Chain A
Amino acid sequence: MNTSSSDQHPKQKWEKDVEKTTERFPERKKAFHTSSEIPVERLYTPEQMDEDYIEEIGFPGQYPYTRGIQPTMYRSRYWTMRQYAGFGSAEETNERFRYLLKQGQTGLSVAFDLPTQIGYDSDDPMADGEVGKVGVAIDSLKDMEQLFDQIPLDKVSTSMTINAPASILLAMYIAVGEKQGVAPEKLTGTIQNDILKEYIARGTYIYPPKPSMRLITDIFGYCQEHLPKFNTISISGYHIREAGSTAVQEVAFTIANGMAYVDAAIEAGLEVDQFAPRLAFFFNAHNQFFEEAAKFRAARRMWAKIMKEHYGAENPKSWKLRFHTQTGGSTLTAQQPDNNIVRVTLQALAAVMGGTQSLHTNSRDEALALPTEDSARIALRTQQIIANESGVADTIDPLAGSYYVESLTDQIEKEANAYLDRIKEFGGAVQAVEEGYMQREIHKAAYDAQKRIESNEDIVVGMNEYKLEEEIHADLLRVDEALEQAQIKKTQDVRSSRDQESVNHCLKNLREAAKGKENVMPHIVAAVKVYATVGEIANVLREEFGEYTGM
């Protein structure tokens, strides 16, 4: 079978694609070579390529994208180095962002505090003790304006780890853009917006699954029209893996969730090729180097086949699985934290071998607290060393053709497909989540892993073997406990100085839209512009949609 639309041989098509791509994104160097002046080719392939090879592995930038989604991969541009950051107040986080941009980071990634992620204002009793702890506290547009102060939104792309209230934070981002004079269609970035994995693994849900899925498809619809360059969702295996899943489960459950979103959008009347190109993915990278690299290759091939063959998508952009990777937080140890730098390096290298589009490398102290500025810099430097010094980015998909890696890639695909069949028997991911199937599978894997560590069958260096007397780590980042009160005061000031009538009016319109079938997004955008808070907007939807109370 010839997978290209023309009758060209895939190799010729790839060569043409390379020509086109390098016009827009020239390669980093005229010629690449090793230290011994051995030339490094763009791509290495077997002498003979049979049909099976073309169908399963093929060429970079071509279906089924096993070797990567771009024709030249990192020969033209490195992955985006995107460090997740955020703590305390909007001003403090803004400072960290500008520091990271100055250090050569190429995209922003916002961490929000838990009250924001669960739709509570800082003065809500539920927020007690949590304000600004794991990320930045955002209550009103005022906070968002400070967060992006002096950061031109037409020049950076921003990834926001926000799920249940994704529509509210996206609306605030649009509003900040407008204030800077940047039109919505110019905004680039990603909202996580993946509610299914919240029920499965991460826990920051608000509403029950059905209305949550509707919020997501409302965002798809709105962005298709107004923010064509924004990634509307980041379908996340990361947290599934952190909760204890295996690599196969991570791929399988993530793709199952992805299919649930596609199904929901189609059911809401959207056209697959209209929204699918804006779907993005987010994976984990753990320590088992070859399995991790193979996992990314397998995931790409699976998604391409599903989009093309199952959903009949015709736009190649709909077939491409684009993904962000973060190294594995749960693999880090509180003991001998400097060892974590080595773990992160291995994991980051696996992500690069797997063809990631962007990468966050964890800091060495994350098993103890939020990273200090020093630790965050070392983490970024780790990526920069891999990119600039190791030479691994000079040829495309260098692990391809390894008997071991190709076999692992096939095996992961096969086992993940077996999970997809089981989830289909439940009636899809939403039903499987509601019945707790994925949660149980993950918990079982997590418990088995813990037992293997405690019996020393699995060695974790510095933790159950090669131990040291532990020193106390005084040099940890502390969030100022006084911040909570200051943030509460700030939000109360916003409430007393805004036009309350406009707020009431906007919230009433939002309520009406939520009751019916109208897209809620335009109403949320209107509400944040008059400084309605995250909590106020989320509460209107709580009253209309109800709250999810867990299993």
Chain B
Amino acid sequence: MRMKPIRVLIAKPGLDGHDRGALIIAQALRDHGMEVIYTGLRQSAVQIARAAIQEDVDVVGLSSLSGAHKSLFPKVVQALEEQGASDIPVVGGGVIPAEDIPFLEEKGVNKIFTSGSPTDAIALYIKQLLNKETIEAPKRIAHIGIAVESIDAALPFYQHNLHLELEAVEVVESEQVRVAFLKIGETMFELLEPLSDDSPIQSFLTKKGEGVHHIALEVDDLTKRLEQYKEQGVRLIHEQPKQGAHDSQIAFLHPKAANGVLFELCQHGEEE
């Protein structure tokens, strides 16, 4: 955990005089316990870089509403680099068309927040950025779970018609379920058969019948990720990792968090 408060420089590069947004962000970040320095209007890239170094800030936030962001934001990144401060990340916001964002990110701006971004999300991003906890996208689809009445009855289609290879069959006591894994490319199908009426799979079958049950995503930071999702208000079924099939740690997100899709996060082997 960081002990010192995060220090932020909010800067207005160029000649643009609209600072309502910059002032609101500054205030919101202060409310999140950060120390914020606002440069005032009409700062050159070099002035901003100098202020960032003198004030010993952890991050620089740029605001532009005049359309000059493509020229000005990269210049600030460059000025920081030239003054030996390329470790200070730069984020930006303002009136910025979506198709300019890849260009700005390529030029070294860490993230662009466009009009309508909640201030809480900006504060959270900065916190995560500085704690080096930025969540990466999940690596791949680990498996697609399919609920069946009976694995033995379902297997022939997968084995003899699709010609998939049966990898393993095992029992997960905690979920009262028997599972069969069939490999397909980099991912797998997981057939799920309930072992008792208490099994969640049984209640799924009763409500919806056989069919796709969940999609499992491979991650390598399960505990941390669950904490961050919780902080971001993502609804979770499991707030802590639990033992899953195949020697894995798993947790389910609530389907309400993802437009009705049940996602499982799973991590194989040791956590990093």
Contact = CB atoms under 8 A, between A and B. Distances in A.
Given A335-B116, A479-B67, A243 B20 contact: yes
Contacts of B23: 443, 446-447
Most chain B CB within 10 A, of A129, A368, A479, is at A129
A333 B67 contact: no
Contacts of B19: 203
Interface string B110-128: 0000111011100000000
A134 B67 contact: yes
A249 to B, nearest CB: 13
Interface stretch (B93-101, B158-166, B217-225): B93-101
Nearest to A550: B40
A117 B28 CA distance: 31
Given A369-B95, A369-B97, A447-B24, A550 B41 contact: yes
Contact of A473 (B24, B67, B75, B97): B97
Interface residues of A, number: 44
B115 A129 contact: no
Contacts of A479: 67
Q: Is the interface of A mostly helix, strand, loop or mixed?
A: loop
A369 B64 CA distance: 12
Contacts of A149: none
Interface residues of B, number: 32
Interface string B19-55: 1100110011000000000001110100000000000
Contacts of A473: 97-98
A115 interface: yes
A472 B17 contact: no
A118 interface: yes
Interface in A509-525: none
A203 B20 contact: no
Contacts of A133: 66-68
A354 interface: no
Contacts, number: 97
Nearest to A127: B15
A334 B71 contact: no
A114 B16 CA distance: 7
Nearest to B27: A447
Contact of B115 (A203, A367, A370): A367
A268 interface: no
B99 A474 contact: yes
Given A133-B68, A368-B95, A550-B40, A454 B16 contact: no
A369 B68 CA distance: 11
A58 interface: no
B95 A367 contact: yes
Nearest to A202: B17
A134 B15 CA distance: 11
A385 interface: no
A476 interface: yes
B233 to A, nearest CB: 13
Contact of B66 (A128, A134, A443): A134
A401 to B, nearest CB: 37
B228 to A, nearest CB: 20
Given A243-B20, A368-B97, A333 B116 contact: yes
Given A334-B114, A370-B67, A551-B40, A126 B15 contact: yes
Given A114-B14, A115-B15, A334 B115 contact: yes
A242 interface: yes
B72 interface: yes
A216 B271 CA distance: 69
B18 interface: yes
A330 B67 CA distance: 16
Contacts of B15: 114-115, 117-118, 120, 126-127, 130, 204
Given A472-B98, A550-B41, A129 B14 contact: yes
Contacts of A242: 18, 20
A114 B68 CA distance: 10
A447 B27 CA distance: 8
B17 A203 contact: yes
A97 B263 CA distance: 56
B63 to A, nearest CB: 12
A244 interface: yes
Contacts of B68: 129-130, 133
Contact of A334 (B27, B28, B116, B118): B116
30 contacts: A114-B66, A118-B42, A120-B15, A126-B15, A127-B15, A129-B72, A130-B14, A130-B16, A130-B66, A134-B67, A198-B17, A203-B16, A203-B41, A203-B42, A242-B20, A243-B18, A243-B20, A330-B20, A333-B115, A334-B95, A367-B95, A367-B115, A369-B67, A370-B67, A443-B23, A447-B27, A454-B118, A472-B98, A473-B98, A551-B40
Interface of A: 114-115, 117-118, 120, 125-130, 133-134, 198, 202-204, 242-244, 330, 333-335, 367-370, 443, 446-447, 450, 454, 463, 470, 472-474, 476, 479, 481, 549-551
Closest 5 CB pairs of A and B: A203-B17, A129-B71, A114-B15, A133-B67, A129-B68
